[in-house]
Amino acid sequence: MPRPSLDRLLRTTVRALKAPVYPTAVRGAAQMDANTNLFGPNPALHEVARQIDRLGLNQYPAGDSDPLRDAIAERWDVRRENVVVGNGSDELFDLVMRAFLNPGDCVAFPEPSFVMYPFYGFVNLGHVAPVPLKKGFALDVDGILKAKAKVTVIASPNSPTGNAFPREALETVLRRSKGVVVIDEAYAEFCGQDFIRTAAKHPRLIVTRTFSKAYGLAGLRVGYAVGSEAAIDALLRVKPPFNVGGFAEAAAIAALKSRRFVDRVVRVIRAERVRVAAALRAMGARPYPSDANFLLVDVGRPSDAVTRALREKRFLVRRMSDWPGLERCLRVTLGPPELNNRFLRALRAILARSW
């Protein structure tokens, strides 16, 4: 009797699914394609490493990372019960979908935006409903609401466009939506946005944050979500225990307690956004306004060739040609002034060529 093929045994949604691909580091290249922190390791890592023998890493950490939940709650003046910790923000989006989606329920999100929103919605048997941004990358509030989604996910500031959406627009979505609304604030430190305290009091709002961007701990994979006690309880029901390691938890706590590094990074990035954008315009490129730690740049020609040329010069940037309307755009993560200057020199030389 022939055995059934493995494909026939797969969940239906997985059969046509491809594994997500993230940028990989290239030795000796400036990794300006991942929107991570380019200012070097957070000093919190050195502090925790000196105490590594006292962390008890031969044992499991707290199942729900309660010491880190307490530190986050203190930072934002909320309760531990308002906080859940994840293995990066990515896991938190997965937890939201697991907790709230029944098969066929709608997941709405702006497009273009973070590609993992539809991924987790699809994997968790939801119906994904991308809503294109309007002119100027404005949020289509009516389009989002028209989807009547069970879960709506909005990044603000948004990636890859870089702009934060007006608070009034986000509040309108929250007020008029009947489902769960997730505001992804991965880049909020760079513009001062804060929906966290609102989330702790609102029954349907969940706000996610990460230690991968301003805090410079991307390699440790730590994120957190804040919401009402009922919303966080729902996420805790579907969260596996020990999802954040003991060293990562200790480093995140130390980074929260000493914000000198983060404050410096944010201050420099805000200044560099203005300076680098001006330099890009001077060489004939068109940078879009950004509230994040990166710039979306129209280079005036197909971005694939420019991206390859930059790679040859050891600068990794993200090409945007997969998104309709962004075929001439690349996304570049900003770093310290000296790194940005080297990037500008390389790009200027490339754009000066006859194409």
Q: Which mean pLDDT values do the consecutive 10-residue runs of the chain (355 residues) have?
A: 73 82 78 95 92 91 95 97 97 98 97 96 95 97 98 98 98 97 98 93 97 96 97 97 96 94 97 98 97 98 95 96 94 98 97 75
Is residue 1 assigned to a domain? no
Are 204 and 278 found together in one domain? no
In the DSSP assignment, the letter for residue 67 is H
Are 180 and 265 found together in one domain? no
Supply the pTM of this predicted model.
0.94
The domain containing residue 297 runs over which residues? Answer: 6-40+261-351
pLDDT at 354: 53
Tokens of 85: 């910790």
pLDDT at 312: 95
Are 252 and 265 found together in one domain? no
| Closest CA relative to residue 257, chosen from 74, 85, 86, 57 | 74
What residue ranges in 17-81 does DSSP mark as E strands?
Answer: 30-31
pLDDT at 210: 98
Are 251 and 310 found together in one domain? no
In the DSSP assignment, the letter for residue 157 is S
pLDDT at 2: 55
pLDDT at 21: 78
Q: How many domains does the chain have?
A: 2
186-189 long-range CB contacts below 8 Å, 24 or more apart? Answer: 186/89, 186/155, 186/159, 186/210, 186/212, 186/213, 187/35, 187/155, 187/157, 187/159, 187/213, 187/214, 187/291, 187/292, 187/293, 188/156, 188/157, 188/164, 189/213, 189/214, 189/262, 189/266
Last residue of a domain, one of 238, 257, 276: 257
pLDDT at 4: 64
Last residue of a domain, one of 257, 278, 312: 257
In the DSSP assignment, the letter for residue 82 is G
Last residue of a domain, one of 235, 257, 279: 257
pLDDT at 194: 93
Is residue 18 assigned to a domain? yes
Are 155 and 303 found together in one domain? no
pLDDT at 98: 97
Are 218 and 267 found together in one domain? no
Is residue 345 assigned to a domain? yes
Is 322:253 a contact under the CB 8 Å cutoff? no
pLDDT at 15: 83
CATH number of the domain enclosing 147:
3.40.640.10
Is residue 106 assigned to a domain? yes
Is residue 167 assigned to a domain? yes
